[in-house]
Structure 1
């Protein structure tokens, strides 16, 4: 079964929006919090899979991963962790907003959310730039 393109493209964002709504409506009901966390993890995994599939530098990326796995290059994070970092920043910011007392929660939560958004924006920009440069060659 194939989904229509607008629905297919908006699925991760729909998961994030529903997760946000459930988190806002969270009223000490653990099932709501669990559903929100599940939707967040599903949306972020879906976003990561699509982003990796649409990469234009897949061959270079595979070569780099093989060198890292052989131990030729040190100091790199595992790919799953690297790709998940902005989503960890975002969820960490939301957790700071909800669990820490107000003055500190606003500062730390805002910084973590901004860091997550900046990292996502940089990755989208770099992968889009690679796509444009590959098409112009």
Structure 2
């Protein structure tokens, strides 16, 4: 069974693009190694992340995130088992949105996902859209 966790958190400091890219590369390498897919979005000193994969690997990854000094006020929004990964086909399985083109690609992907009519996927889609559209 596949597990998904979606959380939001506050960043302790304003992350510059170079720091975000370094964090992204490290996260992507770790997630690929553990067969975790998902999405990581940083906006206005907040993170939203969706993790998908084998239950023990997702839980271990989330526990490492909880102890990461760059986060505070971590709030787990979704913590459940899923039949299929939502973001497996999105940008090689894991991405960070850091520009307008990436945001447009994400919107296109979310619109495509809506066609699957998966209730959990639609909840995740709504959360992601609300996060990226908030000021």
Question: TM > 0.5 between the two?
Answer: no
**Structure whose residues are more often helix by fraction:** 1
Give TM-score scaled by structure 1 length: 0.32
Q: Which has the higher contact order (CA 8 A, sep 6+)?
A: 2
**Structure whose residues are more often strand by fraction:** 2
The structure whose Rg is larger is 1
